[in-house]
Chains A and B, each alone.
Chain A
Amino acid sequence: MSNKHTRRARLKLNRPSLRERARPPKQRTPMGQTFTSANYSGVLVMQHCQQCEVVQYPPREICQNCLGDELIWRETSTAGYLLSRIELHHSLWEYFKRRLIDKPWPIATVRLENSTTVFSHLYLASFGDLPLEAIRKGTAVQVFSHSDSSLNSVLIAVSAQCDISQIKDRAAIAKTMGLTTAAERPGGI
């Protein structure tokens, strides 16, 4: 490797702002990686305890209720209601910093029917013209998983009226939000 090449590689590593393509956080624990692969072929897949039937999230190795270890990844209901929602105007992560240049990034916490609480990206456009403030706690939403441009499964919350039955509908939403493409910096490394 040439000196110049090494310097560029080091710059790319240490100065995310100089990268040509910035992507969402790639890092996951082994449990997070399992969540990602379990969700490649489902709308929303979570851990179900074989002993006590509790569904849990974030993923972990032991059932939070009975401490059993027979946990099965399978589809769960996408239905839930909004707990809280905000728009991010600032991020520590380069991908979001670039997305935030144009408009704030909405996120939410959602309580699903299966009693789990999830952080999710919030697809504001699915609520029609409603401003964020008008989408109150208790609003019915659906949550599905989709892979982002770091190839991790992430959760997206949409209005309960939104059609997410087909994979192409869900893919279109993730694409519109910019999640499936890198945030580019022309002339970057």
Chain B
Amino acid sequence: MTRITSPNATPTNNPGSYQGVALVAASSIKYSRQSHHGAPWFIGRTLHKMLMETGIKKAEVDGLAVSSFSLGADSAVNLTQHFQLTPRWIEQLPYGGASGVIALRRAARAIQCGDAHIIACIGGDAAFHRSFEATASQFSNFTIDSSFPYGGGGPNAAFALITQHYMDEYGAKREDFAHIALAQRYNANHYPAALLGHKTLTEYQYLNARRIAGPLHLFDCVMPCAGGEGFLMMSEARARHLKLRYCLILAADELHNAHPQDEVQIRAGWSEYVDSLYNNAGLAANDIDILQTYDDYPVISMMQFEDLGFCDKGDGPDFVRRTDLRFDRTGPEKNKLPHNTSGGQLSVGQAGAAAGYMPLVESIRQLTGYAENNQVSNATHSMVSGFGMINYDRGLCSAATILKTGQA
């Protein structure tokens, strides 16, 4: 007999306004499949790039938010001596694919309250020989005891089980997932920094790729790599004073370990706050010009289309069939939604915790007009979603934000 009391997953509080906070200096450090550099190199070079682009001095940075799986014995505070920063506000966010949006939420409050004036938010990770294997085998205590011993597939095994279940439940086909992967590869072909951007991907190649686990084949899986992603946060007044192009936060929210009663993951916390997210932004789903989802596997992007209000639960396969996900809206489908405009992790690579910042950094780049060959035209609003931390049988973190272009 069991009497589990179901946790109340519905947040009754509504986050306050994010008014007056500006995001600037979207910066990405070129990814590499393997690198002899450690995480501090990727994080430090990302910071360097942001300072070079804005003309802000290192000493002016008084806040630091960092996410990384590969800092080893170090934490965010150790990095302050690495870089000789003297911040009065630091934060470390070990939340994988949700790290970026969560960093944004924490840092925005610090800016609004005056706890810090210029905050660098950075995700960066190293990729040494066989380091991914070590990360996967020791991802969490539940992983060590209860999932990794069953095949040592790392996240592939857990997500294959989730993907297979979703396909059985909602009739999704591999061709539907191909639609997501192919559009992203097209986008990556226009984003020079993407690790796979120099290669095209056809539906035939996608469908006939090497089998990995269950329905997952090679092009459903991200390539682990090293890289860095970051942005600076400051008051809107300061961004204007410095004459920096910026974007604003219209709404943001997060919820973790939502829906524990679901036997297999078919959704995450987004479904619980998506309405208040749109309400606070004063927008509806069809006002979103760019959507960046967390695409560690295509099925997770499909769940985000559903949970973020672009279609109903279970209609994800139909939605992707009738929606053009290319950045330049050149696909044949009538419905247009530029999605993962740099190619996402599937085509750019998964640089550890930096992958949790990539959708956000790419959105800031797009909304400030700094994207190059993959610039989306006429884009004012971007939604960014984060997902992360497969502790055992499901991803726990969910976070989302809606950004708007600010005046330069």
Q: Do A and B form a real pair?
A: yes
**Given A86-B215, A96-B151, A119-B393, do A32 and B146 touch, yes or no (CB 8 Å)?**
yes
CA distance A117 to B4 in the complex (A): 14
Shortest beta-carbon distance, A44 to chain B, in Å? 14
CB distance A57 to B168 under 8 Å?
Answer: no
CB nearest neighbor in B for A137: B168
CA distance A25 to B151 in the complex (A): 9
B1-55 at interface with A (beta carbon < 8 Å):
1-5
CB nearest neighbor in A for B133: A92
CA distance A73 to B168 in the complex (A): 35
CB nearest neighbor in B for A109: B161
Flag A80-111 by CB within 8 Å of B: 1 or 0 each. Answer: 00011111111111011000000011011101
Residue B164 contacts which of A53, A84, A115 (CB distance < 8 angstroms)? Answer: A84
**Given A52-B3, A137-B168, do A154 and B150 touch, yes or no (CB 8 Å)?**
yes
Q: Which residues of A contact B156 (CB under 8 A)?
A: 88, 90
**Given A65-B4, A105-B151, do A86 and B146 touch, yes or no (CB 8 Å)?**
no
Q: Does B136 contact A (CB under 8 A)?
A: yes
Q: Does B214 contact A (CB under 8 A)?
A: yes
CB distance B168 to A88 under 8 Å?
Answer: no
CB nearest neighbor in A for B134: A92
Determine the interface band of chain A, counting residues with CB < 8 A from chain B: 35 or more
Q: Does B74 contact A (CB under 8 A)?
A: no
CA distance A84 to B158 in the complex (A): 10
Q: Which residues of B contact A120 (CB under 8 A)?
A: 150
CB distance A27 to B157 under 8 Å?
Answer: no
CB distance B147 to A119 under 8 Å?
Answer: yes
Q: Which residues of B contact A155 (CB under 8 A)?
A: 150
CB distance B2 to A84 under 8 Å?
Answer: no
CB distance A24 to B141 under 8 Å?
Answer: no
CB distance B145 to A58 under 8 Å?
Answer: yes
CA distance A88 to B392 in the complex (A): 17
CB distance B145 to A109 under 8 Å?
Answer: no
CB nearest neighbor in A for B135: A92
B67-121 at interface with A (beta carbon < 8 Å):
none
CB distance B149 to A154 under 8 Å?
Answer: yes
CB distance B145 to A87 under 8 Å?
Answer: no
Q: Which residues of B contact A19 (CB under 8 A)?
A: none
CB distance A115 to B168 under 8 Å?
Answer: no
Determine the interface band of chain B, counting residues with CB < 8 A from chain A: 35 or more
**Given A84-B164, A152-B149, do A54 and B137 touch, yes or no (CB 8 Å)?**
no
Q: Which residues of B contact A119 (CB under 8 A)?
A: 146-147, 150, 157, 393
CB distance A27 to B137 under 8 Å?
Answer: yes
Q: Does B142 contact A (CB under 8 A)?
A: yes
Q: Does A78 contact B (CB under 8 A)?
A: no
Shortest beta-carbon distance, B302 to chain A, in Å? 16
CB nearest neighbor in A for B168: A137
CB distance A28 to B144 under 8 Å?
Answer: yes
CB nearest neighbor in B for A150: B149
Shortest beta-carbon distance, B138 to chain A, in Å? 7
CB distance A53 to B1 under 8 Å?
Answer: yes
Shortest beta-carbon distance, A31 to chain B, in Å? 6
Q: Does B321 contact A (CB under 8 A)?
A: no
Q: Does B283 contact A (CB under 8 A)?
A: no
A32-64 at interface with B (beta carbon < 8 Å):
32, 35, 52-55, 57-60, 64
CB distance B152 to A96 under 8 Å?
Answer: yes
**Given A119-B147, A119-B150, A154-B149, do A31 and B141 touch, yes or no (CB 8 Å)?**
yes
CA distance A27 to B146 in the complex (A): 11
Q: Which residues of B contact A126 (CB under 8 A)?
A: none
Q: Does B165 contact A (CB under 8 A)?
A: yes
Shortest beta-carbon distance, B300 to chain A, in Å? 15
CB nearest neighbor in A for B160: A86
Q: Which residues of A contact B237 (CB under 8 A)?
A: none
CB nearest neighbor in A for B167: A84
CB distance B213 to A88 under 8 Å?
Answer: yes
Flag A1-40 by CB within 8 Å of B: 1 or 0 each. Answer: 0000000000000000000000011011101100100000
Q: Does B243 contact A (CB under 8 A)?
A: no
CA distance A58 to B157 in the complex (A): 17
CA distance A101 to B189 in the complex (A): 35
**Given A59-B145, A91-B151, A137-B168, do A83 and B2 touch, yes or no (CB 8 Å)?**
no
CA distance A54 to B151 in the complex (A): 28
CB distance A54 to B4 under 8 Å?
Answer: yes
Residue A109 contacts which of B133, B149, B153, B393 (CB distance < 8 angstroms)? Answer: B393
CA distance A24 to B151 in the complex (A): 8
**Given A88-B157, A90-B212, do A25 and B264 touch, yes or no (CB 8 Å)?**
no
Q: Which residues of B contact A111 (CB under 8 A)?
A: 263
Q: Does A181 contact B (CB under 8 A)?
A: no
Q: Does B162 contact A (CB under 8 A)?
A: yes
B352-405 at interface with A (beta carbon < 8 Å):
392-393
**12 pairs of residues in contact across A and B, judged by CB atoms under 8 Å:** A24-B152, A35-B145, A58-B146, A83-B165, A86-B164, A90-B153, A90-B213, A92-B137, A96-B153, A115-B2, A119-B157, A136-B168
Known: A24-B152, A28-B145. 4 other contacts (CB 8 A): A24-B149, A25-B149, A29-B145, A90-B212
Residues of A within 8 A of B (CB): 24-25, 27-29, 31-32, 35, 52-55, 57-60, 64-65, 83-93, 95-96, 104-105, 107-109, 111, 114-115, 117-121, 136-137, 148, 152, 154-155
